[in-house]
Amino acid sequence: MTLVLRIKRFFRLKKKLNRSFTVSFLMFLLLALFGSFMALPLVYAVNNAFKPLDELFIFPPRFFVKNPTLDNFFDLVALMGNSWVPLSRYIANTFLITVLGTAGHILLASAAAYPLAKYKFIGSKTIFSIVVLSLMFSPHVTAIPNYMVMSWLGWINTHASIIVPSVAFPLGLFLMKQFMEQLPDSLMEAAKIDGASEYRIFWSIVMPNVKPAWLTLLILQFPVLWGTDGGNFIYSENLKTLHYALGQISMGGIARAGVGAAVALFLMIVPITLFIISQSSVMQTMANSGMKD
Amino acid sequence: MEAKTIQQTEKGSIYVAKESRLAHLKKELIRGKHYYILMAPYLIIFFLFTVIPVVISFGLSFFSFNMLEIPKFVGWENYSRLFLSDDIFMIALKNTFIFAVLTGPISYIACFLFAWIINELSPKVRAFMTLVFYAPSISGNVFFIWLIIFSGDSYGYLNGFLMKVGVILEPIQWLKDEQYILAVVIIVQLWLSLGTSFLAFIAGLQNIDQTLVEAGTVDGIKNRWQELWFITLPSMRPQLLFGAVLQITMAFAVADISIALAGFPSVNYAAHTVVTHLMDYGTIRFEMGYASAIATVLFALMVGTNMIIQKILRRVGE
């Protein structure tokens, strides 16, 4: 009985309205079951990175690592030094694309969201409905004309071909606009009376007040760019990304399996860590994500 | 002197009356100058890489174009070829519908169901469970893990497990056997699909007005199911609409996972989708007009389905 009470207290079930304990318990069981299904591959990836080579190819395959080792990471560092295109180059490319793309996205999407959220002017409604409609586009639809636009601009085989289009993803503008609508108008009016220009208001009043939304845009944009393999636009080996290099390493077969697992862990851990840090801000923004009738 | 002044004002007033709409427009545009400047960088890029390509794609679907020769107008030929004589497209369309019909609603309901259960937990447990369910969708390179799990030899995790337990004697070629490919891709797609909508749902649930729930209890709501239908779902309508848009678009665009798991092209086109068909013609055969017709069909499918679902969702809880 005390156990049941303890469980109840742990999940804070006591004071809730309209809740029966049995159903709650069954639902949490369901949650735990699916939660482990979700987590299992990730736990497996973590374990894999610490497995020595003989444990990676054992039959029957073992889920958890028995003799954890850091060899895979040392091999990775060694491989970084002496491959034809050093691995550090791939890492630098991925960093460049991710940082520029994400920062540009946050900046430009906020700048565009501020007038849409706070003012009425000619075309504002039309522009916003186009943005909402474009949430329904998948990037695949535009892939072919995009290639033509890129080659017309002469951007094929440059990082700009990945960075620039990603700066204007519609989801970020949509969320930012919804969040900015919550800001009180008095904030901007006060600044205007003090003689601040629109740009100044945007930069020193609006931007600091929408920090949670920045982090949300960051967490949505970051994994997309972090995981890009260069798509159809990048051909030169020294411009390729880490995700592409991972594919190459995995293709190296048995000898590279350990290093592959280490790179996979590295690729996975960065976005997840970012999410852990920014979770509460993200939830705050998402509360305003709804589409009004 | 006097008469002149009157004339002038009259002239002036007539002038103003005639020009007023245009002048008003101009005034409005000048008043909004700063707003247009603020929006310009985003909008230029947005139009250049999102809006214009859709228009080009639609236009190009009536041409025969291979990137080398001058486009040749062919009218509806691409479309008639697509629907009447391209058997592989029919397979792709069928697979895409199977994907969309299964992964769309299931992932949508899963997003809501798990968000709903997680919302009942204490804040710390809630944050942890949110992370567990959301992590797959942001961990990028996860195909790698599933490839090992579903690997076709006995080192594959699933095969190893099933053989150890004794369910099967020989390893199953999960990713090469037509029977299983589609199911495997669907499972992985579902695993990845608790993304932005899931977060939006959790956030929406946390912001439901608790006084509504109390008032509902006074009015005779007895259990969680009634609360869900009469209070929770109607309060969540904006988030539900937002989530639907994202999940539907995702469900129709299955391609990357199919390619990563089943290869491109997959065995006997078992995991071929409209998007992989589009890639085939666009990036390998360079039949850009034909590929554009495929893209236009996909676009119509996505937007059309979205419109229908939005109409249905607006009626939730009424």
Does residue A205 form part of some domain? yes
Q: What is the pTM of this model?
A: 0.83
Q: Structure tokens of A173? A: 């503008």
**CB atoms A289 and B203 under 8 Å:** yes
Q: Structure tokens of A60? A: 């029957």
Residues of B whose CB is below 8 A from A285: 203
Has residue A254 got a pLDDT over 70? no
Does residue A231 form part of some domain? yes
Question: Hey, which residues 243-262 in chain B have their CB within 8 Å of chain A?
Answer: 245-246, 248-250, 252-253, 255
Has residue A194 got a pLDDT over 60? yes
Give yes or no for a contact between B70 and B59, defined as CB atoms under 8 angstroms apart.
Answer: no
Give the model confidence (pLDDT) of A280-293 as tens digits: 888 888 877 777 65
Report the C-alpha gap between A288 and A293 in whole angstroms: 14
* Amino acid identity, position B95: N
Supply the CATH number for residue A194's domain.
1.10.3720.10
Tell which residue, B150, B193, B199, B317, has the closest CA to residue A283. Answer: B199
Does residue A254 form part of some domain? yes
Q: How many alpha carbons lie under 13 Å from residue B110 in its C-beta half-sphere?
A: 24
Report the C-alpha gap between A212 and A209 in whole angstroms: 8
pLDDT given for residue A110 in this prediction: 93
The minimum CA-CA distance between A82 and chain B, rounded to whole Å, is 24
Sign of CA dihedral B212, B213, B219, B221: positive
Report the C-alpha gap between A143 and A178 in whole angstroms: 28
Report the C-alpha gap between B265 and B276 in whole angstroms: 8
Burial letters B147-175, b for 16+ CB under 10 A, else e? bbbbbbeebbbbbbebbeeeeeeebbbbb
pLDDT given for residue B2 in this prediction: 45
Tell which residue, A248, A219, A224, has the closest CA to residue B140. Answer: A224
Q: Structure tokens of A7? A: 């469980």
Does residue A176 form part of some domain? yes
Give yes or no for a contact between B193 and B281, defined as CB atoms under 8 angstroms apart.
Answer: no
Helix axis angle, A160-167 to A87-118, nearest 10°: 20
How many angstroms from the chain centroid is the CA of residue A110?
Answer: 18
How many domains, in total, are found in chain A? 1
Give the model confidence (pLDDT) of A137-179 as tens digits: 877 778 788 888 888 888 888 888 889 988 988 999 998 988 8
Does residue A7 form part of some domain? no
Query: Quick count: other Cβ atoms within 10 Å of Cβ A54?
Result: 8
Q: Measured between CB atoms, which of B141, B148, B237 is closest to A246?
A: B141
Q: What is the DSSP letter of A234?
A: -
Size of interface A-B (CB pairs under 8 A): 311
pLDDT per residue, tens digit, chain B (318 aa), is 444 444 455 555 555 555 678 888 888 888 888 889 999 999 999 999 888 888 888 888 898 888 778 888 888 888 988 888 888 999 999 989 988 898 899 999 999 999 999 988 888 888 899 999 998 888 866 667 787 778 777 777 788 778 878 777 777 788 777 788 888 888 888 888 888 889 888 888 888 888 888 888 888 888 888 888 888 888 888 888 888 888 888 888 887 788 877 777 777 788 888 888 888 888 888 888 898 899 899 888 888 998 888 888 887 655
Test mutation, B78, B242, B294, chain A, max A CBs within 10 A: B242
Give the model confidence (pLDDT) of A1-49 as tens digits: 577 777 666 655 545 667 777 888 888 889 999 998 888 888 888 888 8
Q: Structure tokens of B47? A: 């139009």
**CB atoms A164 and B295 under 8 Å:** no
Domains with residue ranges and CATH for chain B: 2-73 (no CATH), 77-313 (1.10.3720.10)
Test mutation, B60, B139, B226, B307, chain A, max A CBs within 10 A: B139
pLDDT given for residue A12 in this prediction: 56
Q: Measured between CB atoms, which of A31, A59, A137 is closest to B129?
A: A31
Q: Structure tokens of B89? A: 């497209």
Does residue A64 form part of some domain? no
Q: What is the DSSP letter of B71?
A: P
> Does the beta carbon of B52 lie under 8 angstroms from any beta carbon of chain A?
yes
Average pLDDT value for residue range A48-56? 81
Tell which residue, A171, A205, A179, has the closest CA to residue A117. Answer: A179
Report the C-alpha gap between A211 and B256 in whole angstroms: 33
Does residue A93 form part of some domain? yes
Q: Measured between CB atoms, which of B34, B57, B122 is closest to A144?
A: B57
Q: Measured between CB atoms, which of B146, B203, B207 is closest to A41?
A: B146
Sign of CA dihedral A253, A255, A257, A261: negative
Question: Hey, which residues 214-253 in chain A have their CB within 8 Å of chain B?
Answer: 219-220, 222-223, 226-227, 232, 243, 246, 250
Has residue A108 got a pLDDT over 90? yes
- Domain interval for residue A203: 77-286
> Quick one: A1 exposed, middle or buried, by C-beta within 10 A (0-12, 13-18, 19+)?
exposed
> Does the beta carbon of A207 lie under 8 angstroms from any beta carbon of chain B?
no
Q: How many alpha carbons lie under 13 Å from residue B197 in its C-beta half-sphere?
A: 31
Does residue A251 form part of some domain? yes
**CB atoms A24 and B120 under 8 Å:** yes
Give yes or no for a contact between A266 and A73, defined as CB atoms under 8 angstroms apart.
Answer: no
Helix residue ranges, H only, chain A: 2-10, 21-49, 53-56, 71-82, 87-118, 124-134, 143-153, 160-167, 170-180, 185-193, 198-201, 207-209, 211-226, 242-251, 257-286
pLDDT given for residue A292 in this prediction: 64
Please state, for a pLDDT cut of 90, what percent of chain A lies above it.
10
Helix axis angle, A211-226 to A170-180, nearest 10°: 170
Which band of pLDDT confidence, cut at 50, 70 and 90, is reported for residue A62? confident
